[in-house]
Structure 1
Amino acid sequence: MIMDKTPLYKYPAAYARENGELEAYRASHKANIACRDAIDAAIRDNYRDNCLSPDAAKQVIAEFGFDRTLYVLANTVREKDWDGRIDYRSKEWARTIPIFDDSDGFGGNRNREFVVDQSHPGLVDLFVKQARREYLLSLPLTKEDIKAEAHKILAQFQDAREPNSPEGTHYMAKVSPDFMARASSKDQGRLMKELPFPSLSLSTLKDRKGVFAFISKDEDRFHPPRRGRASVRDKLQNTPAAPKPPKPGKKKEMEL
C-alpha cells in the first residue's frame, strides 16, 4: 500500500484564499475525505463477531499516516459531541486537537464533509481508541512513563499476599504490554534501576503471555522506589549563584 503523502492543511478555505494556498487546501480536503472513506471501509471490513480487529486502525494509518488519521477522527468526534455513544475521554482528547471553523458561502460547514458517518458511533469510538493507542506506541518512553510503570509493578508486588510465582519462590508482577512494546533495552534497564530490589529480574513464563518482573520472596516489598540521581545540569541549575562581591564605593574626600 502506498501512503498518501498529501500535506495536512489545517486552515480554513477563507484563509487559504487570502494567502494564495487554495491548491494546498483543496488537496488536503480531498485527502481528508478519502481518509474518512478508508476509516468507514476499515471498520466494515474488520468488524466480526462483535469485535473490531486491531488491524482496522493500522491499515488506515499505513495509508494516511498518523497526522491525517487522527485529524479526521478528532473532527468526527467534535462534530458528534452530542452523541452519548462516544466515550467522554475520546471527546476530551478531540478537544485538544486544533480544528478551525470552515464555513462556506452558504453557511454550511465544510468540516462536516469528512466526518466518519457511515459507521456506528460506538465502533467509531473503538477505532479512535485503537488509533490513539497506535500513536502512543510509536512514541519513545519518557522518564515519567518509566517511573509510572515502576510504581505499578511495586503495587503488584505489595498487593500479593504470598509468593505468586509458579514455584512459589518469588513474587511476580506483569509488566504492561504497552510499556514493553515501546521500551528499548535501555528503558528496561532504567525501569530496573527505579525498583529497589537486588534480586529483581525480568523474564517470560511458559504458557503465559507477556513479560514479568520477579523478586525473591525474601525481599522487603515495601521499600519505596529509588530516587533518581540528579544530573550535573540539574545540580548546576539548582545551585544558588555565588554572591557577587560588592562594588567598591567611591571614597569621599575628607572634609576640611
Structure 2
Amino acid sequence: MNTIPVYKYPAAYTRENNELEQYRASHKANIACRDAIDDAIRDNYRNNCLGSDTAKQVIAEFGFDRTLYVLANTVREKDWDGRIDRKNKDWARTIPVFDDENGFGDNRNLEFIVDRAHPGLVDLFINQARREYLLTQPLTKEDIQSEAARLLRRLQSEREPNSPSGTHFMAQISPDFLIRASTKDQDRLFALLPFKSLSFSALKDRKGIFAFIQKDENRDQPLRQRKPSVRKKLQKTQAEPKSPASSKGKEMEL
C-alpha cells in the first residue's frame, strides 16, 4: 500500500512552512491514485456493469484517505455535471479540499481529477468507495434504529406468512448492517422490535440472517423506545444545581 500521508494544504502554505517535499510527494500520489481509479473503471466495466469490487483494488493500494480525497476533489471540480448524484456532491463538500493555484494562476487540483472515465461510472465508483469505508465504521444508535424500522416495515408489509414453512413472517437483516454490527448492536436491534415471538436465525440453502415472528403475532405494533441510560440519568441528576434554601429558612437561622 502507498503509505505517503495525504497532504491537503496548498503550495503557498507549504513554502511558508518548509513542507514542500511532503506536498510534492502527496500531489504525485494523488495523480497516481487518479490513474489507478481510471484504470480500475476501464478494466472492470463489462456488459454495462461496473464490477462490484472495483473500488476495493484502488483502496487496497492507496488507502481510504487518499482514494476518498481524490474522489471528493473530482466531484467538487465537476459540481456542474448532472451525471454525478447529488448525494455524492453533498458528501464531497464535507471533505476539506483547499484551493491550490500555481504561479500562473492555474488550478493544480485539476491535475488529479478522474477525467478519463465516464462521469456516470465515476459516480458508481464513488458509491462503492463510500460503502467500503462505511463498512469499517461502528454502528450508531441512529443506524440501529433505522435498521429496526426497516425490518418492522418489511414484516408488516407481507399479507401472508412468507417463511418456507408458511408458519412465520420473516425479513432479512441487512448484510451491511451485520458486517458492522457487534453482538451488542444485534442485541439492541432485537430489543427495538416489539414482537414476543421474535427470533434471528439463518435459513438452510439461503444466505443471510433473518428476523422471524410467528404468523399469529400482532404485527400492528410500533418500535419499542430506547430506555435512557441509568448512568446518564445519574450524571444528569448530579449535575443539576441544588435549589437554594428558602428565605424563611434563612430568617430562622438568623
- Normalised to the residue count of structure 1, the TM-score between the two structures is 0.92
Counterpart of 1:192 in structure 2 is: 190
More deviation in 29-38 or 190-199?
Answer: 190-199
User: Structure 2 CA distance, aligned partners of 1:160 and 1:237?
Assistant: 44
1:140-155 counterparts in 2 under 5 A?
140-155=138-153
**What is the root-mean-square deviation of aligned Cα atoms in Å?**
1.9
Counterpart of 2:124 in structure 1 is: 126
Per the TM alignment, residue 237 of structure 1 is displaced from its structure 2 partner at its CA by: 4.4
Counterpart of 1:160 in structure 2 is: 158
User: Structure 2 CA distance, aligned partners of 1:96 and 1:27?
Assistant: 24
Per the TM alignment, residue 242 of structure 1 is displaced from its structure 2 partner at its CA by: 2.8
Q: Figure out how many residues of one structure are paired with residues of the other and give that number.
A: 250
What SS does the aligned partner of 1:32 have? helix
Per the TM alignment, residue 113 of structure 1 is displaced from its structure 2 partner at its CA by: 0.5
- Normalised to the residue count of structure 2, the TM-score between the two structures is 0.92
Counterpart of 1:244 in structure 2 is: 244
Per the TM alignment, residue 86 of structure 1 is displaced from its structure 2 partner at its CA by: 1.2
Given candidates 50, 54, 57, the residue that maps to 2:55 is 57
Gap regions ≥5 residues in structure 1: none
Per the TM alignment, residue 131 of structure 1 is displaced from its structure 2 partner at its CA by: 0.1
Given candidates 8, 32, 54, the residue that maps to 2:30 is 32
Question: Deviation digits for residues 185-209 of structure 1, max 9, x if unmatched?
Answer: 2221211111122221112223433
More deviation in 231-240 or 124-133?
Answer: 231-240
User: Structure 2 CA distance, aligned partners of 1:90 and 1:15?
Assistant: 28
Counterpart of 2:92 in structure 1 is: 94
Counterpart of 2:101 in structure 1 is: 103
User: Structure 2 CA distance, aligned partners of 1:87 and 1:142?
Assistant: 25
User: Structure 1 CA distance, aligned partners of 2:121 and 2:22?
Assistant: 31
Question: Deviation digits for residues 32-66 of structure 1, max 9, x if unmatched?
Answer: 01111111111111111111112210011111111
Gap regions ≥5 residues in structure 2: none
Per the TM alignment, residue 31 of structure 1 is displaced from its structure 2 partner at its CA by: 0.7
Counterpart of 2:83 in structure 1 is: 85
User: Structure 1 CA distance, aligned partners of 2:192 and 2:233?
Assistant: 20
Q: Aligned partner of 2:126: which letter?
A: V
Counterpart of 2:219 in structure 1 is: 221
User: Structure 2 CA distance, aligned partners of 1:141 and 1:212?
Assistant: 19
Per the TM alignment, residue 156 of structure 1 is displaced from its structure 2 partner at its CA by: 1.0
Per the TM alignment, residue 246 of structure 1 is displaced from its structure 2 partner at its CA by: 5.6
Pair 1:183-2:178 in alignment: no
Per the TM alignment, residue 236 of structure 1 is displaced from its structure 2 partner at its CA by: 2.7
User: Structure 1 CA distance, aligned partners of 2:126 and 2:67?
Assistant: 9
What SS does the aligned partner of 1:171 have? strand
What SS does the aligned partner of 2:57 have? helix
